[in-house]
Structure 1
Amino acid sequence: MPRYKTRDGWIEVDNWGYQLQGRNAPLSVEALARQPHDMLVIDATRDGTDATRFSRRDVAAMQDGPDGRRLVASYISIGEASDFRDYWDEDWTTTGKATGRLTADAPDWLGPVNPDWPESRKVRYWDEDWQDILFNDKRSGDLDKIVKAGFDAAYLDIVDAYYFWGSEVKKSDRQPGDPKNDTQAADRMVEFIKDMTDHAREKNADFFVIPQNGAWIIDALKDGGRAYRNEIADYYASIGGIGIEDLYFRGDKDENNRFRPDEDTIRILKRDFLAHDIPVYVTDYITGDKRVATFEAAAAEDGFIPYAAPDRDLDRMGDGWEM
């Protein structure tokens, strides 16, 4: 069972919950505080905007769960920029939305639209101007605000952007200086995450991050040979776990796909993370007692910590807990 050091002592995590928005209403501190989980992953704000950020008192209330102190981690996307976040500038596209064509005012780090989430665009995450939006010396970045609010950790989404820039990006979307291959892209992502974590630990020595997806990032570094051994060690020292989506029930539907375990990724997660004492948190998007039981049993057998999310919008907790 994973154990994490906090200012209040050690906390063990046997189960977790994951919710990024309320259902037809903003996230509620009171409802989240009632959740039974050892760790909560939530957005840093009630509705995605800076004006509704959770305060230090709010976070403390959520950390004080019904069974005692628990971990509360804040979601933050580090591989994409979204048009509903406060840092977005409408002048960057012809329509003001992510789906519009880029204008001359668009920053060099802004990349192509994510077709699955059209409110977001890929970013060149290694670009200093993008990184400054997340953390900076003035302590005004999104990560800085998460640390200041008292969150125990940050849950980093779109870590697998390294694979996009290494293998998937179209030639027409490439710029000079973009990574030449997966290993170079993975190295830049690992350096980014290390710098981010080091920066946060200047204010909270116990702070850690949990990258979501990117299960093959260590494998990509290993392909670069012995030169990347230090980078791999730095990555392990920065992260307190890895989150993975759609590992067992996989397919084209948003929820309730067939039970089809991704055996290759399961093998890599065991070899590159569990074997190095890095816990694996798995989210599959399923409903129904039979599916959930199958998922939880399979994940437990593999040594992972499961969370069955009832829908991909992550607007309610599983097991009947709703807002």
Structure 2
Amino acid sequence: MSTYRRAAAAPEAANWGYQLQGRQADEYELDPDTLALAPHDMLVIDPSRNGRNSGRFDQDEVADMKGDRSILAAYVSIGEANDFRDYWDKDWTTNGKANGRLTDEAPDWLGPINPDWPEGRKVRYWDEGWRDIVFNDKGPNGEGTGELDSIVRQGFDAAYLDIVDAYYFWGAEVKKSQREKGDPRNESQAAIRMADFIADMADHARETNEDFFLIPQNGAYIVDAIKDAGGHGALLERFYGAIGGIAIEDLYFYGNKDENNRFNPDDPQIKILQRDFVAKGIPVYVVDYITGDHRIDKFERMAIRDGFIPYAAPDRDLDRMAGPLDSAAAADFLM
């Protein structure tokens, strides 16, 4: 019998906001006092004011930012390593940055450069070395020293997991010349490894906070990919039990620009999200990077019609917070 709490038991937010850094005038630092006043029902933020361990919010700051809102979630990338995080070792590449050539000092889990994000490299997320960075049982008293461990201790309700769609990269996009022994051979195998990773994260976090849950960002087709392999019902149950929602970027306004692409709804992905998540009672949080009343109104109407919870972010840098969806207006959308 499964010991995992069904995702439907996790709190659901009526609206949400998403900010990972401050603006240049504020030296890009997040301000906990400002965030505490945000009117959103769910906030997704970096667990540190400046992205470094030295800038992590303390428990009192986290409690103040949580306030009366339903969910305060901390961002963590589980599919890529970033050279501005404390775990990064400059000896891993020739120039000390993620976009340099790997050296003999680089760990086995460090993969190819992300051409769209020069500060990051893909990771072999199934490798124990990378998992040890995300969560572990190290410390003088057995306390974990990984990113997830810190987030749980800070008092966040959930971890917001970015680059979950790294499974698709390793299963379908990685070049054969970059594939090493032990790498997944196809999309299903890569998806199974990602779902197992996420389920293990939830299991570990709930040793400290039994109500903790995860919100993967992107990777909407992961359930479909696992089902294609057949015979993984227990894993799917663990995965569903680990998450309290899924978040998706660029679902309605998709294109090559950072913001304000043309209206271009991803109908196949919308249907997958409805079938594999909404129908299971799992909230779908959608963020599109748009400005302008007309675009925002159209985005919110379409997302609500499809059963999702929208947030219109004004820029992809996520350095400022837009206002929340108006619940009264949302009710009008459904009439």
Q: Which amino acid aligns with 1:63?
A: K
Question: Is 1:206 aligned with 2:211?
Answer: yes
Structure 2: distance between partners of 1:12 and 1:272:
17
Could you say which residue in structure 2 is the equivalent of 1:147? 152
1:227-238 mapped onto 2 (5 Å cutoff): 227-238=231-242
1:100/1:70 Cα in 2 relative to 1: closer, same or farther (>3 Å)? same
Q: Please state how far the C-alpha of 1:69 moved relative to its aligned partner.
A: 3.8
Structure 2: distance between partners of 1:272 and 1:142:
28
Structure 2: distance between partners of 1:199 and 1:279:
23
Q: Which amino acid aligns with 1:13?
A: A
Q: Which amino acid aligns with 1:247?
A: L
Could you say which residue in structure 1 is the equivalent of 2:319? 315
Structure 2: distance between partners of 1:280 and 1:183:
22
Q: Please state how far the C-alpha of 1:70 moved relative to its aligned partner.
A: 3.1
Contact 2:158/2:215 (8 A) holds in 1: yes
Deviations 1:129-149 (A, max 9, x none): 100001001210010000000
Contact 1:109/1:127 (8 A) holds in 2: yes
Q: Please state how far the C-alpha of 1:3 moved relative to its aligned partner.
A: 7.3
Contact 2:278/2:284 (8 A) holds in 1: yes
Contact 1:92/1:104 (8 A) holds in 2: yes
1:34-53 mapped onto 2 (5 Å cutoff): 34-53=37-56
Aligned with 1:294: secondary structure? helix
Number of equivalences: 310
Structure 2: distance between partners of 1:149 and 1:229:
33
1:175 aligned to which of 173, 180, 184: 180
1:253 aligned to which of 250, 257, 261: 257
Which structure's residues are more often strand, by fraction? 1
Q: Please state how far the C-alpha of 1:89 moved relative to its aligned partner.
A: 0.1
Q: Which amino acid aligns with 2:278?
A: L
Contact 2:42/2:69 (8 A) holds in 1: no
- What are structure 1's unaligned runs of at least 5 residues? 6-10
**Runs of 4+ more than 6 Å apart:** none
Q: Which amino acid aligns with 1:230?
A: A
1:267 aligned to which of 264, 271, 274: 271
Contact 2:48/2:56 (8 A) holds in 1: yes
1:1-323 mapped onto 2 (5 Å cutoff): 12-24=12-24, 25=26, 26-64=29-67, 68-138=68-138, 139-225=144-230, 227-319=231-323
Q: TM-score, normalised by structure 1?
A: 0.94
Structure 2: distance between partners of 1:78 and 1:296:
29
Instruction: Provide the identity percentage.
Output: 65
- What are structure 2's unaligned runs of at least 5 residues? 1-6, 139-143, 325-335
Deviations 1:225-266 (A, max 9, x none): 2x1111111110000000000000011000000011000000
Contact 1:3/1:13 (8 A) holds in 2: no
Q: Please state how far the C-alpha of 1:319 moved relative to its aligned partner.
A: 3.2
Q: Which amino acid aligns with 2:187?
A: D
Structure 2: distance between partners of 1:116 and 1:12:
32
Contact 2:8/2:281 (8 A) holds in 1: no
Structure 2: distance between partners of 1:12 and 1:103:
45
Structure 2: distance between partners of 1:108 and 1:71:
36
* Relative contact order, higher structure (CA 8 A, sep 6+): 2
Q: TM-score, normalised by structure 2?
A: 0.91
Aligned with 2:49: secondary structure? coil
What is the RMSD computed on CA atoms of the aligned residues?
Answer: 1.2
Q: Please state how far the C-alpha of 1:172 moved relative to its aligned partner.
A: 1.5
Q: Which amino acid aligns with 1:305?
A: I
Q: Please state how far the C-alpha of 1:45 moved relative to its aligned partner.
A: 0.3
1:18/1:160 Cα in 2 relative to 1: closer, same or farther (>3 Å)? same
Aligned with 2:152: secondary structure? helix
